[in-house]
Amino acid sequence: MGTYLDDDLSEIFTEFTLRKTPLYFSIILSLIGGFLLSTNFSLILFNLGILIFSSILIIMQIYRFIENKKIIFKQLIFGLIILMFLYIPLILPNQLSIPIDNIDAGIGKGFLLSLFLVLIGLFGVYINLSNLDKQNKKAKQASAYLYLSFAILTVLFVLFLIIGFIVYNGAGAITWEFITQDIQNMGASGGVFPAIIGTLLLGLGTALISVPLGVGTAIFLKEYAGSQSKLVRVIRTSINVLNATPSIVHGLFGLALFVPLFGVSLLTGSLVLGFLTLPIIIRSTEEALESVPKDIRDASFAMGATRWQTIRNAVLPPALPGIVTGAVLGLGRAFGETAPIMFTAVIFSGGGIPTSVFDSVNALSYHLLELTRLIGYKDVTQKAWGTALLLLLIVLAMNFLGIRIRKKYRT
């Protein structure tokens, strides 16, 4: 059965890949063209030429496959619209990229243009195939497949572009001194050691606050409260609201409520980040509890276990990997946040290593923000990229850890 489906799909896919090859070409070439645009303006002609050429090819292809020849007019009009839209990126202002002195300002524009062309290509594929839909049932399947593969390709493209960009620019800045030394001269020299420690401490504080509260709330919601009760609905709505609250609002809330009590400190920042990650932890814990079959609970109850014994001995052990994974991913989010801590926990430069929870700290995310503000006044560009890369590595490491834990317990 499975192989039959696979064969079927691959057959359709091959058939349509062959038919749509010109379209793929046009998109890929537009992409390359868009990139090259940043350095060589004349390439635009090449780019357009390819697009027109491939459009003609597509129209010819479709002409062969479609019995109803009237559709071809729609295709022609659509092709013209694509060409018209192509000129939009050309009139975009030149200064779309971040104004960092040693980066080619054109890259931002080239990137935007490429993205734009991919989107148009996507739309084109969709329109082409949805016209074919009326002729061919298999085309429906193939159009969905094509759409999905384009979506994922676009996402991967952007992701690798971002990561590649940061690694390319930041790798040079990361040295042993950068990791182990104090922040000096407002970040322009020295390292980011206090910021690394501060970020890790904030993560730890966040975990200490949000994990016990979040896991407890989730257990209450899933295991104790009836799913239909009003209380549960109110709590669940509140959690959703908490989740939808912009992180800067969390920051201002912390400033108004906790800063008067604990000052700008590690404790205040941990509290704010704790509340920020709470919904993530609650939700992932609920999902982990949900994944434990009802049979297991029944078995435990039937053995004469109380509700708490059942949760403690039968439900939590198999749910634990899911809970830990959720917590780790939630913390990954907390590491990257800037807005919630900028008024509540951090200072820029000269904070050093905190000696108590009432001390303020440095943090990589905030350090990065301040460094980018200093660009143009001080020579900090490379340090900024280095900080960004370091932060990215920490967050990626957290995510990787989460995946490892999940894998380890699954087997």
Partner 1 sequence: MEFETNSKDKERKKLEEIDPVVEAKNISVWYGEEKALENIGLKVPKNNVTAIIGPSGCGKSTFLRCINRMNDLIEGAKVEGKIVYKDKNLYDPDIDVASLRRKIGMVFQKPNPFPKSVYENIAYGPKIGGMNDKEELDEIVEESLKDAALWDEVKNRLHSPAMDLSGGQQQRLCIARALAVEPDVLLMDEPASALDPIAMSKIEDLIYDLKQDYTVIIVTHNMQQAARVSDYTAFLFMGKLIEHSPTEKLFENPDKKKTEDYITGRFG
> Which residue in the set 5, 84, 244, 302 belongs to the binding site for partner 1 (CB under 8 A)?
302
**DSSP structure string for 343-376:** TTTB-SSS--S-SSTTS-B--HHHHHHHHHHHBT
User: In the bound complex, what is the minimum distance in angstroms from residue 240's beta carbon to partner 1?
Assistant: 23
Size of the chain, expressed as the number of residues it contains: 411
Alpha carbon of 320 to those of 130, 293, 331, 351, 406: distances in Å?
Answer: 46, 14, 16, 37, 9
User: In the bound complex, what is the minimum distance in angstroms from residue 229's beta carbon to partner 1?
Assistant: 10
User: In the bound complex, what is the minimum distance in angstroms from residue 214's beta carbon to partner 1?
Assistant: 24
**DSSP structure string for 71-109:** HHHHHHHHHHHHHHHHTTGGGS-S--S---TTS-THHHH
> Which residue in the set 295, 355, 356, 410 belongs to the binding site for partner 1 (CB under 8 A)?
295
User: In the bound complex, what is the minimum distance in angstroms from residue 84's beta carbon to partner 1?
Assistant: 60
Identify the helix (H) or strand (E) that includes residue 183: strand 183-184
Told to check if 304 binds partner 1 by CB under 8 A, we report yes
Alpha carbon of 144 to those of 6, 116, 125, 139, 214: distances in Å?
Answer: 15, 21, 10, 8, 39
Q: How many residues bind partner 1 (CB under 8 A)?
A: 21
Told to check if 309 binds partner 1 by CB under 8 A, we report yes
Among the candidate windows 116-124, 298-306, 354-362, 392-400, which touches partner 1 by CB under 8 A? 298-306
User: In the bound complex, what is the minimum distance in angstroms from residue 236's beta carbon to partner 1?
Assistant: 17
Told to check if 314 binds partner 1 by CB under 8 A, we report yes
The 3-state DSSP class for residue 69 equals coil
Q: Which is nearer to partner 1, 68 or 228 (CB)?
A: 228
User: In the bound complex, what is the minimum distance in angstroms from residue 139's beta carbon to partner 1?
Assistant: 43
Q: Which is nearer to partner 1, 120 or 319 (CB)?
A: 319
User: In the bound complex, what is the minimum distance in angstroms from residue 369's beta carbon to partner 1?
Assistant: 46
Binding mask 65-104 for partner 1 (x = CB under 8 A): ----------------------------------------
User: In the bound complex, what is the minimum distance in angstroms from residue 317's beta carbon to partner 1?
Assistant: 7
Told to check if 298 binds partner 1 by CB under 8 A, we report yes
HSE of 53, CA atoms in CB hemisphere, 13 A:
14
Q: Which residues are CB-neighbours of 355 under 8 A, at least 6 positions away?
A: none
Binding mask 360-399 for partner 1 (x = CB under 8 A): ----------------------------------------
The tokens 């022609």 sit on which residue? Answer: 76
Q: Which is nearer to partner 1, 40 or 313 (CB)?
A: 313
> Which residue in the set 77, 153, 163, 303 belongs to the binding site for partner 1 (CB under 8 A)?
303
Q: Which is nearer to partner 1, 101 or 295 (CB)?
A: 295
Cβ atoms of 316 and 355 closer than 8 Å = no
The distance of Cα 371 from the centroid of its chain, to the nearest Å, equals 23
Q: What's the CA gap between 165 and 157, in Å, rounded?
A: 12
Q: Which is nearer to partner 1, 240 or 291 (CB)?
A: 291
Segment 152-191, which members bind partner 1 (CB under 8 A)? none
Told to check if 225 binds partner 1 by CB under 8 A, we report no
Q: What's the CA gap between 64 and 77, in Å, rounded?
A: 18
Told to check if 145 binds partner 1 by CB under 8 A, we report no
Q: Which is nearer to partner 1, 182 or 223 (CB)?
A: 223
The distance of Cα 407 from the centroid of its chain, to the nearest Å, equals 21
Q: Which residues are CB-neighbours of 20 under 8 A, at least 6 positions away?
A: 58, 125, 128, 146
Interhelix angle 316-336/381-410, nearest 10 degrees: 170
Among the candidate windows 95-103, 226-234, 244-252, 264-272, which touches partner 1 by CB under 8 A? 226-234
Alpha carbon of 195 to those of 11, 68, 122, 277, 356: distances in Å?
Answer: 54, 66, 43, 21, 16
Site residues, partner 1 (CB under 8 A): 226-228, 293, 295-306, 309, 313-314, 317-318
